[in-house]
Amino acid sequence: MEYKASELISKYLRSRKIPSTACSGCGLGMNHKIVVQAIQELGLGVEDIIWGTSIGCAGRQTFATWKGDGFAGTHGRVYAIARGLRVALPPEKHLILTVGDGDAFGIGLTHLIHAARSNANMTVIVNDNLGYQSTGGQYGWTTPQGSKTDSSPYGMFEHNLMSEGLDVMHILKGAGATFLARHVSMDGLKAVETVKKAILNRGFSLVHMPYPCPTNFASRELGSRNQVNIYRWIKDHAAPLGQEKEDTIWATGIWYDASNSRPEFSQMVWDTVDKIRRTGKI
Amino acid sequence: MKRFLETGNFAITEGAILAGCRFFAGYPITPATELAEAMSLRLPQEGGVYLQAEDECAAMHMCIGAALGGMKAMTATSGPGFILYADPYGWAIGCETPLVVLNSGRVGPVSGITGAPGQGEFYLTRYPTQGGNFETIVLAPNSAQECMAMTVEAFYLAERFRMPVTVLADQLITDGFEDISVPENDGEMKEMSFRVWPRKINQGPKFYPPSDEIDIAPVVLGHNTGALCSDWTPTEEGYDIEEVEAHHKHAYRLIYKVRNHRDLFSHHYDKKFMSDDPDLIVVSFGTPSRVVNSAVAKARSQGLKVGALRLINLWPFPDELFTARSKYLVVELNWDGQLVREVQRAVPKDSKVHFLGICGDLPTMHDLLTTFEKIIKNEPLSRRGWELEAW
Ligand code: SF4
């Protein structure tokens, strides 16, 4: 089902914050819409979701867009805040975090791994603009190798989390995440279906969603701010899992689905507290 | 009233529980580990949650999360962990999140001496995060019993001021065994002057008034009030805004909600032999104050007109206690002199301020008494190496 953006906005988002102050042509809005549409299709209401965000383009531009309750954490620490909040919130409330790649895979990676380890019920949407774009465009931990950025004028030459067979998904799977997926913004309705599954998993879910940044990433790497170029470039370097080509950077689709297979963190914590109270042991 | 022979860590745990704390997150560090252990034992018995974090930064962020979910939360550490609170401490100040932090001081800098007492974080607790434009509240107990009282009080102040409050103790108080009375009901709590403020839920839509008001319910998420909080400058409704004037209003609130309600701290000090305008006032906080009190009593019996002023409320600094034109001696568990700088600033212009710094151990009665005598007789302080270094 396709929804008009205006319907989604009036039902779920704050008119004061939409449109956001993102640069024109930014692909973040596509990711944002995918998430809100997934929420709509699941029949969830404003009151069912607490929306957390991080710092950077992805965090700042999505903060306070949700009509309901929301928060923005310090850079990289939102996963730790979310674990504490998860314990205090009623279990039926969904916790959705829209964060950036620098936040999740750089400064916050330890906390992210521990959130996955604990299998705390949250849906982390990593909106990947391929580096640190709100600070002007420095390379990050998923910036494709060889990319020219403001801090890699000769091309990004370090090993990173998306090069030479490495994939950040392996780390998160090993850490205990129960739902992992990747889509690029142009995956549209396919991505909506995936995000729905991510939200329904009572445990730690993460969807990695690279999106086009025409302003900083594209102008340096592709030499053009024309959004068509960067949209095409991202699309060309993405392929469904199993159909990867030589130059595929992002293998898309559901990477790992062990939804509802491991006990959820807050549930386990409260069950244990309850048992200790009643019997003095676990 | 139940009585125990127990540690300061035990007292803090029981104080936190009495204050309604049901969430603790921490990272093991000497000498605050025993507190984490006590919490892990006691909180589940009271229906509360103990969580171990991957580091101190995460620990305090987890407390922030729990507080945002409506729980009273606490974390504890020592100096090397306290610096990792810089990030969440600032966030909690800005978002006005009630929390309690315990710092059990050891000898620094860096890892220093783990199992010995120090008071190197007097200023760090005043400025635990970057950027300035805020006040902090810091309470310093000097006994296990007072650890309990100050933990209860810290939770009370945290709720009323909507901010993190630090209890600054040291290794000797938190690890040492002492007689402790734990109240068992509201009557006994009152008898011990324990004040408790319940967690309230801000209903919005204005979450951040540009005023110095206190007793405003904090942001609690999950009640569909449209509550917002972030690390950016908030509008009254919690939206992020980047504008100096709006930020000035926000900072005004963070500074003056504390400065303009100093009356709430007015009982947070202890005076001994101070009623007859002593020739020398000995200023200290925390464990060293116990030796100071004994030394001052002894000095009095020897005819020296010495008084003791012990600070419990370290920040905001109680300038009003330093009006006497007298000589001052500041005794601290550090060698660089921290409290002494504040005392120097607060005393009347022509007062002479001396410093006695010792670290890793307490000053001896002998050290104190000879120092008192010399200062009163205007004799130069003898220098035994760095221990009596001029400040
Ligand atoms: S810098 Fe790039 S990612 Fe950030 S808002 Fe502008 S276009 Fe979007």
Residue pair A150/A174 in contact by the 8 Å Cβ criterion: no
For ligand 1, atom 6, name the residue with the nearest CA: A23
Pocket test for ligand 1, best of A213, A220, A228 (most atoms within 8 A of CB): A213
Distance separating alpha carbons of residues B6 and B233, to the nearest angstrom: 45
Q: Which of B27, B64, B237 to mutate to test the interface with A (most CBs of A within 10 A)?
A: B64
Question: B171 with B273, same domain?
Answer: no
Q: Which residue do the tokens 């403020």 mark?
A: B197
Q: Judge: B65–A46 Cβ closer than 8 Å, yes or no.
A: no
Biggest CA pair distance of chain A? 67
- Residue B20 domain-assigned (yes or no): yes
CB B258, CB B264: distance < 8 Å: no
Last residue of a domain, one of B191, B215, B243: B191
- Per residue in B287-339, pLDDT tens? 999 999 999 999 999 999 999 999 999 999 999 999 999 999 999 999 999 99
Give the separation between CA B102 and CA B82, rounded to whole angstroms. 9
Domain end call among B174, B191, B208: B191
Q: Are residues B164 and B298 in the same domain?
A: no
Q: Is A24 exposed, middle or buried (0-12, 13-18, 19+ CB in 10 A)?
A: exposed
The answer to whether B113 touches B360, Cβ cutoff 8 Å, is yes
Place of tokens 């991957």: B54
Integer Rg of chain B from CA: 21
* Top mutation candidate among A62, A129, A233 for ligand 1, by most atoms within 8 Å of CB: A129
Q: Does residue B375 sit in the same domain as residue B278?
A: yes
For testing contact with chain B, the best of A81, A98, A118 (most B CBs within 10 A) = A81
* Cα B96 from Cα B233, distance rounded (Å): 12
Q: Which pLDDT score is estimated for B149?
A: 97
Please say whether the beta carbons of B64 and B41 come within 8 A: no
Contacts of B62 in chain A (CB under 8 A): 80-81, 83-84
CA distance A241 to chain B (A): 33
Q: Does the distance separating the beta carbons of B87 and A87 come in below 8 Å?
A: no
* Residue A89 included in any domain: yes
Query: Are A32 and A62 within 8 A, CB to CB?
Result: yes
The Å distance, Cα A99 to ligand 1 centre, comes to 13
Q: Hey, are the CB atoms on B49 and A46 less than 8 Å from each other?
A: no
Three-state SS string over B92-117 comes to HHHHCCCEEEEEEEEECCCCCEEEEE
What confidence tens digit (pLDDT) does each residue in A211-266 have? 999 999 999 999 999 999 999 999 999 999 999 999 999 999 999 999 999 999 99
**Ligand 1 mean position to A151 CA, how many Å?**
17
Note whether residue B118 is domain-resident.
yes
Would you give the distance in Å from CA B374 to the centre of its chain? Answer: 32
Q: Is B299 on the interface with A (CB under 8 A)?
A: no
CA distance B340 to chain A (A): 34
Per-residue pLDDT reduced to its tens digit, A171-215: 999 999 999 999 999 999 999 999 999 999 999 999 999 999 999
CA distance B139 to B150: 7
Q: Is residue A6 part of a domain?
A: no
Question: Within the 186-215 window of chain B, which residues sit less than 8 Å (CB to CB) from chain A?
Answer: none
- Write the CATH number for A40: 3.40.50.970
In a domain, B264, yes or no: no
Give me the number of domains chain B comprises: 2
Distance separating alpha carbons of residues A221 and A150, to the nearest angstrom: 10
CA-to-CA distance for B230 and B242, rounded, in angstroms?
A: 12
Cβ separation B51–A85 shorter than 8 A: no
Q: Do residue B280 and residue B168 come from a single domain?
A: no
Verify whether the Cβ–Cβ distance A87 to B49 is below 8 Å.
yes
Domain assignment present for B213: no
Q: Which site among A60, A66, A67, A87 would you substitute to test the B interface, given the most B Cβ atoms closer than 10 Å to its Cβ?
A: A87
CB contact under 8 A, B228 and A111: no
To which H or E segment does residue A80 belong?
A: helix A78-88
- Domain assignment of residue B232, yes or no: no
Residues B343-354 have pLDDT tens digits of 999 999 999 999
CA distance B214 to B202: 13
Residue-averaged pLDDT of chain A = 96
Q: Which of residues 82-111 of B touch A (CB under 8 A)?
A: 87-88, 90-91, 95
Token pair in block for residue A187:
């995956």
| Domain span including residue A210 | 20-279
In a domain, B180, yes or no: yes
Query: pLDDT-based confidence at A48, cuts 50/70/90?
Result: very high
Q: How many domains does chain A have?
A: 1
Residues B14 and B142 in one domain: yes
Last residue of a domain, one of B142, B157, B191: B191
Ligand 1 atom with minimal separation from the A211 CA: 3
Q: What is the mean pLDDT of each run of 10 residues along chain B (391 residues)?
A: 96 98 96 95 98 98 98 97 98 98 95 92 98 98 97 98 97 94 97 97 96 98 98 97 97 98 92 97 98 98 98 97 96 94 95 91 94 92 52 46
- Who's near B75: CB < 8 A, 6+ residues apart? B24, B25, B26, B56, B59, B60, B62, B63, B85, B99, B100, B101, B102
Residue A42 covered by a domain: yes
Residue A148: DSSP 8-state: -
- Looking at CA atoms only, how far is residue B253 from chain A in angstroms? 20
Q: Tell me the chain B residues in contact with residue A270 when contact means C-beta distances shorter than 8 Å.
A: 49
> Which residue range forms the structural domain that includes residue B143?
2-191
**Atom 8 of ligand 1, nearest CA residue:** A26
Q: DSSP E strands: which ranges in A117-163?
A: 122-128
A172 within domain boundaries:
yes
> A5 lies in a domain?
no
Which chain A residues touch B73 with a CB distance below 8 Å? 84
Average pLDDT over residues A135-153: 96
The distance of A223 to chain B (nearest Cα, Å) reads 31
CATH number assigned to the domain comprising residue B187: 3.40.50.970
For residues B169 and B147, is the Cβ–Cβ distance under 8 A? yes
Measured by CA distance, the residue closest to atom 1 of ligand 1 is A133
Q: Which among A68, A85, A277 has CB closest to B69?
A: A85
